[in-house]
């Protein structure tokens, strides 16, 4: 049974997201996984759709001796994935354990007792993986998780400040290995919130690879689906199995599983496939079928009724009726209806009647004849 602590003293780097989705990837691949929430904020508990309730069995109960490790475990919606939840009571555990002798080993003793009981009853370990989601600090809760674990998975954000805190974290891990847990080893480093378009992210990742050769695995890219999934109480494989976040965490799970050959309990497990099986079809959270008051399903809209098919004039496109041509070019003979109105009948204005054509006799009259007539009228 592998026990891995996911840690970084800096908050907001993706520890809880990695714990939930990495555990789900391994569980969907046939591994029995247990997640332990060691943060009083209970973000891991909420991410797996479990409501933390004060007074219920939780990690606080295990640390204070109120319950055994196996009794406080809860099932999740993902097969083979169990959770030891946390609640706000965990914030006072450090004060309660401060005066206790051997306070750094309380969690390790609880996990070891759970494993011994299971081996005696079934002849095998109760789980294949146990992940500890550590709080963003190096207090007594994190020390308990590191003392109970055999490996450490460091989650880091590809930024300058995260790189600076990395060296201090490594020094703390060396000190803990020397005094509390000689078996503690760094299993790997997972860069999260990685954006390959940023030069800073590429440079920080290159620095980490140079300082920890062979320890830096696949990067988890920035993906909005990873941020949306906890609000629905789902892992990324239930919420968006085709997203980049699901692909990235499946790649991290394959890399973690490469060390299974060194564990006699896990050496017989099959390798992780390229795509994780889905426990169920993902729920449609947006654009669900609409029902009316009577419960009948409303008919779906036809493609012709989509808003995209309705021509909407843009603000910069002038209408034909608004443009006025100069008066000298205006046609009087017809009236043109507006372009956006219904077709109207064309109204034709009748032109004025032309003057009557002159007769042949009038056409033959010369200007001299008119002058003679005019002079005769004056004499008369």
Query: In this predicted structure, what is the pLDDT of residue 376?
Result: 54
Of the candidates 7, 371, 378, the residue with the CA atom closest to the CA atom of residue 176:
7
State how far the Cα of 86 lies from the Cα of 256, in Å rounded to an integer.
Answer: 25
Cβ contacts of residue 233 below 8 Å, gap of 6+? 46, 47, 48, 49, 50, 77
Three-class DSSP category at 269 = coil
Q: How many helices (H) and strands (E) does the chain have?
A: 13, 7
Q: How far apart are CA 161 and CA 149, in angstroms?
A: 27
**DSSP result, 144-174:** HHHHH-SEEEEEEESSHHHHHHHHHHHHHHH
In this prediction, residue 63 carries a pLDDT of: 94
What is the structure's pLDDT at 53? 76
Measured CA to CA in angstroms, residue 296 lies from 284, 292, 305 at distances of: 19, 6, 21
> Which tokens sit at 119?
């081996």
pLDDT for res 284: 39
How large is the C-alpha radius of gyration of the chain?
A: 40
Nearby residues of 48 by Cβ (< 8 Å), 6 or more positions away: 20, 35, 76, 77, 81, 83, 233, 235
Q: What DSSP string runs through 277-302?
A: PPSSPPP--SSPPPB-TTSPBPPPPP
Closest CA to 272 of 125, 128, 73, 122: 128
Listed as own residue / partner, the contacts of 67-76 with beta carbons closer than 8 Å and 24 or more positions apart are 68/110, 68/113, 68/114, 69/110, 69/111, 69/113, 69/114, 70/114, 70/117, 70/118, 70/126, 73/34, 74/50, 76/48, 76/49, 76/50
Instruction: Read off the tokens for 53.
Output: 């309730």
Query: Cα separation of 91 and 263, whole Å?
Result: 35
pLDDT by residue for the chain (380 residues), tens only, comes to: 999 999 998 888 999 999 999 999 999 999 999 999 999 999 999 999 998 777 789 999 999 999 999 999 999 999 999 999 999 989 889 889 988 888 999 999 999 999 999 999 989 999 999 999 999 988 999 999 999 999 999 999 988 887 778 888 999 999 999 999 999 999 999 999 999 899 999 999 998 898 888 899 899 999 999 999 999 999 999 999 999 999 999 999 999 999 998 888 898 898 887 765 565 544 433 333 444 444 444 444 444 444 444 344 444 444 444 445 555 544 444 445 444 444 444 444 445 555 555 555 544 445 555 455 455 555 54
CA 331, CA 336: separation in Å to the nearest integer?
10
Tell me: the pLDDT tens digits for 114-136?
999 999 998 999 999 999 999 99
Q: Out of 3.40.640.10, 3.30.300.30, 3.40.50.300, 3.90.1150.10, select the CATH number for domain 2-262.
A: 3.40.50.300
Judge contact between 11 and 158, C-beta under 8 A. no
The pLDDT value given to residue 4: 97
């Amino acid at each position: 049974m592998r026990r891995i602590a996911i840690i970084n003293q800096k908050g907001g780097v993706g520890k809880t997201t990695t714990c939930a989705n990495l555990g789900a990837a391994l569980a969907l691949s046939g591994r029995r996984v247990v997640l332990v929430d060691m943060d009083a904020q209970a973000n891991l508990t909420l991410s797996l759709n479990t409501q933390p309730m004060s007074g219920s069995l939780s990690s606080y109960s295990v640390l204070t001796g109120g319950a055994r490790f196996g009794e406080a475990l809860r099932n999740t919606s993902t097969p083979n994935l169990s959770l030891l939840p946390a609640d706000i009571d965990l914030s006072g555990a450090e004060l309660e354990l401060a005066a206790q002798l051997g306070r750094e080993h309380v969690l390790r003793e609880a996990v070891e007792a759970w494993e011994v009981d299971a081996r005696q009853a079934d002849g095998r370990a109760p789980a294949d993986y146990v992940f500890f989601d550590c709080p963003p600090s190096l207090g007594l809760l994190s020390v308990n998780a590191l003392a109970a674990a055999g490996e450490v998975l460091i989650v880091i954000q590809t930024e300058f400040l995260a790189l600076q805190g990395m060296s201090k974290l490594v020094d703390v891990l060396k000190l803990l290995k020397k005094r509390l847990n000689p078996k503690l080893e760094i299993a790997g480093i997972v860069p999260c919130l990685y954006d390959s378009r940023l030069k800073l992210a590429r440079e920080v990742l290159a620095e980490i690879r140079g300082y920890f050769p062979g320890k830096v695995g696949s990067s988890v890219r920035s993906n909005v689906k990873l941020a949306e999934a906890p609000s629905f109480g789902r892992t990324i494989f239930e919420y968006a199995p085709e997203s980049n976040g699901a692909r990235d965490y499946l790649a991290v799970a394959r890399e973690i599983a490469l060390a299974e050959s060194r564990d006699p309990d896990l050496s017989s497990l099959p390798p992780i496939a390229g795509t994780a099986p889905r426990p169920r079809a993902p729920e449609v959270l947006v654009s669900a079928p609409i029902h009316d008051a009577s419960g009948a399903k409303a008919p779906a809209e036809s493609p012709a009724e989509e808003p995209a098919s309705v021509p909407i004039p843009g603000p910069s496109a002038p209408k034909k009726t608004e443009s006025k041509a100069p008066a000298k070019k205006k046609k009087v003979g017809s009236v043109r209806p507006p372009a956006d109105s219904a077709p109207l009948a064309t109204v034709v204005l009748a032109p004025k009647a032309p003057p009557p054509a002159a007769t042949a006799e009038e056409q033959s009259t010369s200007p001299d004849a008119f002058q003679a007539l005019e002079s005769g009228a004056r004499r008369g």
